[in-house]
Amino acid sequence: MLTLSSASILPFTFPTWGDAYTAVTGEPASSQSVFALAEISSAAQSKSSTSETLSGKQMSVYIIDVGQGSSTLFTTGDNSILIDAGENDQGGKVLDCLNALKINHLDYIIGTHPHSDHIGGMDDVLKKVEVDTVILPKVPDAILPTTKTYEDVLTLLAEKKIKVITAAPGKSYVIGAMKLETLGPVGEYDDLNNESVVSKISFANTSVLVSGDAETAAEKDILKKDFNLKSDIYVAGHHGSSTSTGKAFLAAIKPAFAAISCGENNDYGHPSASTLQKLKDKGVTVYRTDLNGTIVFTTDGKNIAVKTEK
């Protein structure tokens, strides 16, 4: 089903990739794979997408290596979306990536949930980059955090008068050539991980699902909704923990690729052997920031190419 082509017949170019990559990492990119998604991109995958590529346009997805944490950037050049910004000490890393790509404006930032490994670096980004809208989950009062990290973000959002939207399941937003759908959280939970904003970003026939730290309870509630979860790329829930990526959820997403964002030798044992096995059983090609550094997927809406830092 998947065909691996040699890099010399790359069907499209990485815009500013070489320069951006070198600026971010100080090293040339080391590996590159190109995949044709002929059969993966079924028409059912994205109801509103066209069957053709968007001529001349492409979307890049950066799984930024922020150690033990998560930060994912989507950009078409014209429009950009950032999901999470890593720990408090990783804001600079995220900004380095944005600067290297000459992105000084983000259409949307999603803070999946108020844990420091996701929103810690967000204040740094909000200080330096123009942001139109921020999407946050509605957090039940009983588990509302009182951390300085969360306070820093809320204070900046108020100071800068940035529009804040509460994530609503089933809501979609057209952002230039990208479509963002928020799929969760669907219910109310007693822990912050399950309150994670789960989103799907589509670009023509290609789509990416990012589920923050949502665990199986939240995944099951999303599955009860009639959402089309099918996505080519899955940014694995909760850093590849055994508490996420339930079998039914994975079967509904049916990804060709998974990206796991986790720190080298992290204290949590992320990713879990059971999650890796589940992905392997489904034939999913897995990339990990602890092993591969920053991971970049680029798509013309039909084909997907992957580059990793190491």
Beta strands in 67-159 (DSSP E): 72-75, 80-83, 105-110, 130-136
Selected range binding Zn ion among 131-139, 208-216, 262-270, 287-295, rule: CB under 5 A: 208-216
Selected range binding Zn ion among 47-55, 90-98, 212-220, 299-307, rule: CB under 5 A: 212-220
- Least CB distance to Zn ion at residue 193 (A): 7
Q: Cβ(76)–Cβ(297) under 8 Å?
A: no
84 belongs to the binding site for Zn ion (CB under 5 A): no
Q: Which residues contact 273 (CB under 8 A, 6 or more apart)?
A: none
How many residues lie near Zn ion (CB under 5 A)? 2
Selected range binding Zn ion among 9-17, 128-136, 207-215, 271-279, rule: CB under 5 A: 207-215
- Least CB distance to Zn ion at residue 282 (A): 23
Which CB sits closer to Zn ion, 107 or 124? 124
Structure letter (DSSP) for residue 30 = -
Q: Which residues contact 13 (CB under 8 A, 6 or more apart)?
A: none
How buried is residue 199: exposed, middle or buried, by Cβ count under 10 Å (0-12/13-18/19+)? Answer: buried
Selected range binding Zn ion among 37-45, 72-80, 103-111, 209-217, rule: CB under 5 A: 209-217
Measured CA to CA in angstroms, residue 278 lies from 169, 196, 215, 247, 275 at distances of: 26, 22, 15, 7, 5
The residues that bridge with 166 in the sheet, in sequence order, are 136
Which CB sits closer to Zn ion, 260 or 284? 260
Could you tell me the two tokens for 225? 């909704």
Which CB sits closer to Zn ion, 179 or 270? 270
Which CB sits closer to Zn ion, 54 or 236? 236
- Least CB distance to Zn ion at residue 227 (A): 23
Which CB sits closer to Zn ion, 125 or 204? 125
195 belongs to the binding site for Zn ion (CB under 5 A): no
| Residues within window 153-182 making contact with Zn ion, judged by CB under 5 A | none
Q: Which residues contact 142 (CB under 8 A, 6 or more apart)?
A: 190
117 belongs to the binding site for Zn ion (CB under 5 A): yes
Could you tell me the two tokens for 19? 């320069």
Q: Cβ(76)–Cβ(101) under 8 Å?
A: no
- Least CB distance to Zn ion at residue 8 (A): 38
Which CB sits closer to Zn ion, 117 or 221? 117
Which CB sits closer to Zn ion, 117 or 232? 117
Q: Which of 25, 56, 75, 11 is nearest to 208 (CA)?
A: 75
- Least CB distance to Zn ion at residue 293 (A): 18
Calculate Rg over the CA atoms of the chain. Answer: 18
Taking CB under 5 A as the criterion, the residue among 87, 107, 124, 213 binding Zn ion is 213
Which CB sits closer to Zn ion, 212 or 301? 212
Residues forming contacts to Zn ion in the complex (CB under 5 A) are: 117, 213
